[in-house]
Amino acid sequence: MDKFVVVIAETEQGQLTLPSLECVEEGRDVADQLGAQVHVMLCGNKVAPLAETLAAHGADRVTVVEHEALAQFSADGWMQALAPVLLQAPPALLLAPDSGQIRSWLPRLAVRWRSPLVGCCMRIGIIGDGYPEIMRSTHGGACQERLTWPYATLVCAMLIPGVRGIGTPQSGRIAETTVLRPQLDPAHFRDRTLHTLPADPRTVSLNEAERIVSGGFGTGGKDGMALVKQLADHLGAALGGTRVAADRGWLAVDRYIGSTGQIVAPKLYMAFGVSGADQHLSGITGSEIVIAINNDRTAPILKRADLGVVGDLHEILPILLSKLQALASTSNHSEPTTPTHFAVDPVEIAS
Ligand SMILES: Cc1cc2nc3c(=O)[nH]c(=O)nc-3n(C[C@H](O)[C@H](O)[C@H](O)COP(=O)(O)OP(=O)(O)OC[C@H]3O[C@@H](n4cnc5c(N)ncnc54)[C@H](O)[C@@H]3O)c2cc1C
């Protein structure tokens, strides 16, 4: 009988979420070790065309469960739609993003299967004759735990978004796709989504933030960090920083980034007065563009940066802020200014 690694994919505004694609790629790696296939389950309304993207990231099979009542998320709706399909053929391993939505229904399924459910997973592996091995983050990121189970135990694992990152999709890859349209009665859903609020970058979880502005010991204290925060607010970015800054009380402890803190994967990561210690850099490996401002041209972060500015942050930050303020006052719209909208003469670009 064929063995499957099942992946639950999620959508947001009609698009697959990046954490879902990370799970598909992680599932692909695990399936290759097990000699299994990757079977992705996707729930929603008119989401079948997304099967192509799932195939490009490693899916062998895609089961799409469609219904008008699934246009908006409902934990009961997802259970009604997916449980019958999943219970028919329990997989070798189930992977899903560690998201609020998944956490609202997957535990119920794990209870029915009497299978372990593991959150905050960072890496899934297979050891020995097919034993699942999971590395997960515990104690708010301060520790990592390695878990293994006996052969053939079905484990449901939820992956922390942003840890793995996604690779290049393979165009032309095809998955066997089945579209199911079950009879669902939304009147029996005990929960439903009324409307979805846009994420507030100031409070969004760092591992979901698209832009992060970080401050380190070089900010010199709470006043320097307040300037970094002002810049973050102007850019619609989340505030982050280093452990040293958090240890000194300049930053909330849940906002420091690194191997013992938050693992992030923003599109833009700006670092002010951050040296770039290994423990910090290991938390930003998934970042797309890194801009670092440091007055020491030998600081390791400048090697990682796509744009390095060698200069005093106490001179550069006020210039940036005044340019952004001027731009905001002339701008007609109230959208947060994106980094491409302003230009500052860099003091010196690191080579
Ligand atoms: C077990 C362990 C786990 C750790 N985990 C983490 C972790 O998860 N995350 C983490 O961040 N750290 C972690 N650390 C700490 C880490 O090793 C570094 O000490 C820390 O990241 C350094 O923080 P920093 O860059 O803010 O400070 P520093 O290393 O002191 O760097 C400050 C930088 O600011 C620059 N600077 C100073 N003044 C200015 C100015 N006026 N303008 C511009 N630049 C200026 C300096 O040139 C310097 O490069 C851990 C350490 C250990 C031992």
CATH number of the domain residue 238 falls in: 3.40.50.1220
Q: Are residues 239 and 334 in the same domain?
A: yes
Q: Are 251 and 229 in contact (CB under 8 A)?
A: no
Q: Are residues 142 and 254 in the same domain?
A: no
Q: Are residues 227 and 278 in the same domain?
A: yes
Cα–Cα distance measured from residue 118 to residue 125, given in angstroms and rounded to the nearest whole number: 14
Judge if the beta carbon of residue 177 lies within 6 A of ligand 1.
no
Which residues of the chain fall short of a pLDDT of 70?
Answer: 1, 140-141, 332-351
Q: In testing the pocket of ligand 1, which one of 251, 275, 287, 301 has its CB within 8 Å of the most ligand atoms? A: 275
**Closest ligand 1 atom number to CA of residue 245:** 26
In a domain, 335, yes or no: yes
Cα–Cα distance measured from residue 154 to residue 92, given in angstroms and rounded to the nearest whole number: 5
Q: Are 77 and 186 in contact (CB under 8 A)?
A: yes
- CB neighbourhood size of 50 (10 A): 21
Binding-site sequence positions: 242-243, 273-280, 294
Helices 313-330 and 222-235, interaxial angle, to 10°?
30
Judge if the beta carbon of residue 295 lies within 6 A of ligand 1.
yes
pLDDT at 302 (0 to 100) = 97
Structure-token match 């930053």, residue found: 251
> How far, in whole angstroms, is CA 241 from its chain's centroid?
18
Instruction: Kindly give the residue spans of alpha helices, DSSP state H, lying in 269-308.
Output: 278-281, 301-304
Q: Which domain-ending residue is among 188, 223, 242?
A: 188
Domain count, the chain: 2
Cα–Cα distance measured from residue 243 to residue 216, given in angstroms and rounded to the nearest whole number: 8
Q: Are 45 and 84 in contact (CB under 8 A)?
A: no
Amino acid at 346: P
pLDDT at 235 (0 to 100) = 93
Q: Give the list of residues 6+ apart from residue 351 with CB closer than 8 angstroms, or none.
A: none
Binding-site sequence positions for FAD: 242-243, 273-280, 294
In a domain, 348, yes or no: no
Cα–Cα distance measured from residue 11 to residue 34, given in angstroms and rounded to the nearest whole number: 27
In a domain, 115, yes or no: yes
Q: Are residues 18 and 137 in the same domain?
A: yes
Angle of CA points 130, 134, 138, to nearest 5°: 165
Judge if the beta carbon of residue 219 lies within 6 A of ligand 1.
no
pLDDT at 339 (0 to 100) = 43
Cα–Cα distance measured from residue 296 to residue 267, given in angstroms and rounded to the nearest whole number: 25
Cα–Cα distance measured from residue 83 to residue 109, given in angstroms and rounded to the nearest whole number: 7
pLDDT at 1 (0 to 100) = 53
Cα–Cα distance measured from residue 91 to residue 105, given in angstroms and rounded to the nearest whole number: 17
Q: Are residues 160 and 224 in the same domain?
A: no
Question: From ligand 1's centre to the CA of 225, what distance in Å?
Answer: 14
Question: From ligand 1's centre to the CA of 177, what distance in Å?
Answer: 49
Question: From ligand 1's centre to the CA of 214, what distance in Å?
Answer: 11
Q: Are residues 184 and 57 in the same domain?
A: yes
Q: Are residues 37 and 137 in the same domain?
A: yes
Cα–Cα distance measured from residue 262 to residue 283, given in angstroms and rounded to the nearest whole number: 6
Strands 238-241 and 289-294: unpaired
Is the interface score ipTM higher than 0.95? yes
Q: Give the structural domain span for 238.
A: 206-341
Burial of 321 (0-12, 13-18, 19+ CB in 10 A): middle
Q: Are residues 120 and 31 in the same domain?
A: yes
Amino acid at 60: D
Q: Are 147 and 126 in contact (CB under 8 A)?
A: no
Judge if the beta carbon of residue 189 lies within 6 A of ligand 1.
no
In a domain, 349, yes or no: no
Cα–Cα distance measured from residue 288 to residue 273, given in angstroms and rounded to the nearest whole number: 20
Q: Give the list of residues 6+ apart from residue 180 with CB closer than 8 angstroms, or none.
A: 63, 64, 65, 66, 85
Cα–Cα distance measured from residue 148 to residue 154, given in angstroms and rounded to the nearest whole number: 11
Q: Which domain-ending residue is among 156, 188, 220?
A: 188
Q: Are residues 278 and 223 in the same domain?
A: yes
In a domain, 201, yes or no: no
Cα–Cα distances (Å) from 179 to 26, 49, 71, in that order, read 24, 10, 15
Cα–Cα distance measured from residue 180 to residue 67, given in angstroms and rounded to the nearest whole number: 9
pLDDT at 341 (0 to 100) = 41
In a domain, 197, yes or no: no
